[in-house]
Structure 1
Amino acid sequence: MARILVVDDEKLLVKGMKFNLENEGYEVECAYDGVATVELARTRAFDLIILDVMMPEVDGLEACMRIREFSNVPIIMLTAKSEDADKLMGFECGADDYLTKPFNILELKARVRALLRRAAGVQRSRGALLAVGGVTLNTEERVAVRDGAVVELTAKEYDLIELLMRNPRRVYSRENLMNVVWGYTYAGDYRTVDVHIRRLREKLERNPAEPEYIMTKWGVGYYFKG
């Protein structure tokens, strides 16, 4: 049973999300501010966090960044704003997905299922490795290593680099990557992919300005140079 942490200062909204997610069979805990969220994420094991942006004391963006210092748990950000800049800021802070209020509870459930499914991964052989040059993925443990050092990736960053490494030289458009990696048809801004690619280059490339592995096919998309 997946354990989900739902965080929002609107207690009625939290109650509704908790009720609907528990009806799906999930175990749900709740928090109402960023400080409590970070502490719960540090001390309890969650499979996914649903985190509102606008909260008292510590907002959702800051809470997300603090959580990313010690955990790669999948995070869905909630916000009342729909501007692209706010969405991109959420991804910059380490969020895996983004949902704008007011939202349909069916869409939230679909995104939760997609993130949990991607985080769980497909059936893999124990200890299976993908290695190219100085970059290695342990696909059983979902761990990335560059030049012998473990690199901390978010769930979506890992899903994205594994897809590219499993299909070297295959060019994916941003729309393809959103559909495959995010697990559903995404009607939003495909610059989300650009943000994740840039973060992967910063983490995995020796020189992000002159990448060796994660390449751009101008006007088409991205591919892994195997």
Structure 2
Amino acid sequence: MTGPVVLVVDDDAALRRVLGIQLRAHGWSPVLARDGDEAVELANRVGPDVIVLDLGLPDLDGVDVIRRLRETMITPIVVLSARQGGGDKVLALDAGADDYVTKPFGVEELLARLRAAVRRATPADDREGAVVRAGALAIDLAAKRVHRGAVEVKLTPTEWSMLEVLVRHRGEVVSGPDLLREVWGPSYRTESNYLRVYAAQLRRKLEEDPAHPVHLVTRPGRGYLFEA
């Protein structure tokens, strides 16, 4: 394997084969799985750089697969599903998915989503920022690590990216469209449900009282703010 390793999980054999060919042609190293159990086994054995996951699997629901994967890894997960309802998207994101692409889809769009997911998971080259402290939180912008007291908090790449943008602009309100563009890309400016889901996840992990946050604050009608 020479390029980034992508685990493709789909029960459609023809689609798996086509995706494998397309990914390999664009410099990726695909590993293919046909169901949820095989996906979890391969993910833990291979350690992919990113996972493409269908929700409609024959043995497990894809949301359950996401939850199982999140028990052991923070690898980016891009859902690829025919389910187009907003509720399905929120369930997948809330379970720990990083992105959601609906079928039918364009290969170039999927590749762009995969590149963005891997980029969010890649440590920054610069050493800017040292450690930002906010109450019990210690946020190391260079190492991409967060501690709450003496305990390290495990964040997914997308959770980290959202937190990083807010921390780098601490004390300033970042608008929803600007935050979406910075974390997910320019085509996401209207996906406000992404922000609600990930803000809630970050508060559960970082705030002493998630229902009354003091660091990750929403300014209704304006955006989000990190208060140190």
Report the AA paired with residue 66 of structure 2: C
Moved over 6 A (4+): none
Aligned to 1:110: 112
CA distance in structure 2 between the aligned counterparts of 1:31 and 1:140, rounded to whole angstroms: 35
How does 1:131-210 map onto structure 2 within 5 Å? 131-186=133-188, 189-210=191-212
Any conservation in 2 of the 1:124–1:139 contact (CA below 8 Å)? no
1:60-103 Cα distance to aligned partner (Å, 9 max, x none): 11111000001000000111111110100000110000000010
CA distance in structure 1 between the aligned counterparts of 2:133 and 2:22, rounded to whole angstroms: 42
CA distance in structure 1 between the aligned counterparts of 2:48 and 2:138, rounded to whole angstroms: 26
Aligned to 2:61: 59
CA distance in structure 2 between the aligned counterparts of 1:126 and 1:40, rounded to whole angstroms: 36
Aligned to 2:216: 214
Aligned to 1:20: 22
CA distance in structure 1 between the aligned counterparts of 2:80 and 2:33, rounded to whole angstroms: 14
Distance 1:187 1:159, change over 3 A: closer
Any conservation in 2 of the 1:78–1:98 contact (CA below 8 Å)? yes
Any conservation in 2 of the 1:217–1:223 contact (CA below 8 Å)? yes
1:219 Cα deviation after fit:
1.1
Q: CA RMSD in A?
A: 1.6
Any conservation in 2 of the 1:33–1:59 contact (CA below 8 Å)? no
Distance 1:169 1:127, change over 3 A: closer
CA distance in structure 2 between the aligned counterparts of 1:47 and 1:191, rounded to whole angstroms: 25
Residue segments in structure 1 that go unaligned for 5+ positions in a row: none
| Count, aligned residues | 226
SS at match of 1:210: coil
CA distance in structure 2 between the aligned counterparts of 1:43 and 1:171, rounded to whole angstroms: 42
Aligned to 1:92: 94
1:16-44 Cα distance to aligned partner (Å, 9 max, x none): 11111111211110001000111111222
Q: Give TM-score, length-normalised by structure 2.
A: 0.94
Report the AA paired with residue 167 of structure 1: H
Residue segments in structure 2 that go unaligned for 5+ positions in a row: none
Structure 2 residue 7 is the aligned partner of structure 1 residue 5: yes
1:50 to 49, 52, 60: 52
1:197 Cα deviation after fit:
0.1
Aligned to 1:33: 35
